[in-house]
């Protein structure tokens, strides 16, 4: 049933975090029934993100009110960029889209009239009250294959006054609904052999076990162990995520205990020789598992990460989950775990104004060498 949008419907802009805090109950209710309900758009995720960012974040959240009822939210913030380190630009980005591992950005709207409401939000970005505030929009990791992602892109395409360059990005998901209770027979022979042989080698080393880390008193200890294992594995390659990105580690430290309280957290550890040798961090939300981060001891037995992943799949099946989501990137490793490739999108959007003319002639992305965020 479509909602009746009154002529008195209005749009307001939230520019202060205190006003964002007041939205908590309404935000949660609106997200839960929307076509874009995912953990990365929850109030808790965004609130933890804004607390752990080193730089000051300026929210610019568009809210549509139908009378006194909030029926749509565009969760933007403002970030300053410079073109060729000289010309300043004001960019709109989606709250939580960096320094947290966030995916699947979207608008949050009443599902009964999703397309119309998302189009209203795009249109309002060109209103006299909002248009002067921004120069371009950097909108990343859209799940174009889903209903919510598709409606977002459709609504944007209908607003001809907005210019847009689009890049395809890959995601990976394994459907769990058609798999047997034990995923092992469905895997390739080489992967099955690796898991079985590693399990036997673990047996020969002595007692070992896998457990769910759900003890509130030890959660901080477990998070630090995950960081240590992850960094130990990747540090030689110069890719230690938590070493390079301390704000991401701070986000995990803040959000993981909340996820545990909410029942979203799935933090697994494999222990052998009295020490944690491998860990996996994920969240369960909306009957789906989101694989967030792993770490294992490179000086220990090879293959322990695969054994732990197998257990994670078994646990997801036992919970009756419908999807094992590997999130961004489609790699051979994910393919071996029966993941299907999903195509999403990154969007670079701008409106017509003199300083934006260059964008119409040359595809410039805010991830290249020409257009960069201001460091301070």
Element (H, E) at 167: strand 163-175
| Cα-based distances in Å from 194 to 68, 169, 303, 316 | 59, 30, 7, 21
Q: How far apart are CA 262 and CA 264, in angstroms?
A: 6
pLDDT at 5: 61
Q: Cα–Cα distance between 9 and 155 in angstroms, integer?
A: 19
SS3 category, 136: strand
- The pLDDT, as a whole number, for residue 4 is 59
**Which strand (E) or helix (H) includes residue 189?**
helix 189-205
Contact 100, 39 (CB under 8 A): no
> What does DSSP say about strands 108-109 and 69-83: parallel, antiparallel, or unpaired?
antiparallel
List the domains of the chain with CATH numbers.
Answer: 10-169+345-373 (3.40.630.30), 178-321 (3.40.630.30)
Best CA proximity match to 54, nearest among 312, 295, 249: 249
Token pair of 208, please?
A: 């070992």
Give 57's DSSP letter: P
Rg (CA), the chain: 22
Residue of 80, 43, 136 whose CA lies nearest to 350:
136
pLDDT of residue 243: 67
Question: Which residues are CB-contacts of 175 (< 8 A; sequence separation ≥ 6)?
Answer: 322, 323, 340
Tokens, residue 275: 């020490």
Condensed to tens digits (0 to 9), the pLDDT of residues 269-325 reads 999 999 999 999 999 999 999 999 999 999 999 999 999 999 999 999 999 999 999
Q: Residue 173 carries which DSSP code? A: E
Q: What per-residue confidence (pLDDT) applies to 283?
A: 98
β-pairing, 323-328 with 288-296?
A: parallel
Weakly modelled stretches of the chain, pLDDT under 50 = none
Please tell me the distance from the alpha carbon of residue 309 to that of residue 60, in angstroms, as a whole number: 40
**Of 10, 6, 13, which Cα lies nearest the Cα of 129?**
13
Asked if 291 contacts 240 with a C-beta cutoff of 8 angstroms, the reply is no
Tokens 């939210």 sit on residue: 73
Read off the tokens for 274.
Answer: 């009295």
> Which pair of tokens denotes residue 78?
């403002």
Give CA–CA dist 236/132, Å, rounded.
Answer: 47
Tokens of 121: 């939000």
Contact status, residue 277 vs residue 284, Cβ threshold 8 Å: no
Q: Whole-structure pTM over 0.85, yes or no? A: yes
Q: What is the pLDDT at residue 44?
A: 98
What span, in angstroms and rounded, lies between the C-alpha atoms of 63 and 35? 17
């Amino acid at each position: 049933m479509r909602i009746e949008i009154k002529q008195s419907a209005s749009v307001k802009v939230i520019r202060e975090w205190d006003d964002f805090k007041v939205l908590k109950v309404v935000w949660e209710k609106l997200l839960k029934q929307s076509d874009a309900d995912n953990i990365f758009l929850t109030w808790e995720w965004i609130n933890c993100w804004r607390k752990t960012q080193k730089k000051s974040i300026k929210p610019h959240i568009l809210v549509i009110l139908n009378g006194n009822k909030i029926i749509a939210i565009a969760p933007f913030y403002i970030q300053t960029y410079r073109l060729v380190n000289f010309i300043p630009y004001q960019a709109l980005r989606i709250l939580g889209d960096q320094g947290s591992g966030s995916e699947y950005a979207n608008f949050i709207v009443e599902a009964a009239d999703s397309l119309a409401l998302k189009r209203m939000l795009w249109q309002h970005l060109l209103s006299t009250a909002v248009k002067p505030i921004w120069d371009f929009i950097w909108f990343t990791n859209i799940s174009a294959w889903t209903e919510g992602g598709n409606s977002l892109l459709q609504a944007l395409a209908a607003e001809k006054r907005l210019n847009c360059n689009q890049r395809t990005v890959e995601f990976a998901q394994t459907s769990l609904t058609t798999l047997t209770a034990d995923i092992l027979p469905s895997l390739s022979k080489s992967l099955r052999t690796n898991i079985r042989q590693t399990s036997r080698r673990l047996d020969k080393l002595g007692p070992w076990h896998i457990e769910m880390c759900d003890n509130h008193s030890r959660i901080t200890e477990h998070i630090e162990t995950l960081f240590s294992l992850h960094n130990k594995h990747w540090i030689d390659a110069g890719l230690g995520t938590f070493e390079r990105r301390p704000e991401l580690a701070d986000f995990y430290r803040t959000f993981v205990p909340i996820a545990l309280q909410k029942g979203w957290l799935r933090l697994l550890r494999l222990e052998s020789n009295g020490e944690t040798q491998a860990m996996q961090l994920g969240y369960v939300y909306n009957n789906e598992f989101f694989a967030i981060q792993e770490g294992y001891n490179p000086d220990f037995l090879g293959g322990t990460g695969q054994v732990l992943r197998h257990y994670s799949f078994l646990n997801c099946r036992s919970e009756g989950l419908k999807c094992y989501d590997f999130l961004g990137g489609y790699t051979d490793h994910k393919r071996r775990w029966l993941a299907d490739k999903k195509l999403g999108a990154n969007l670079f959007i701008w409106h017509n104004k003199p300083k934006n003319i260059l964008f119409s002639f040359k595809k410039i992305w805010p991830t290249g060498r020409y257009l960069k965020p201001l460091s301070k």
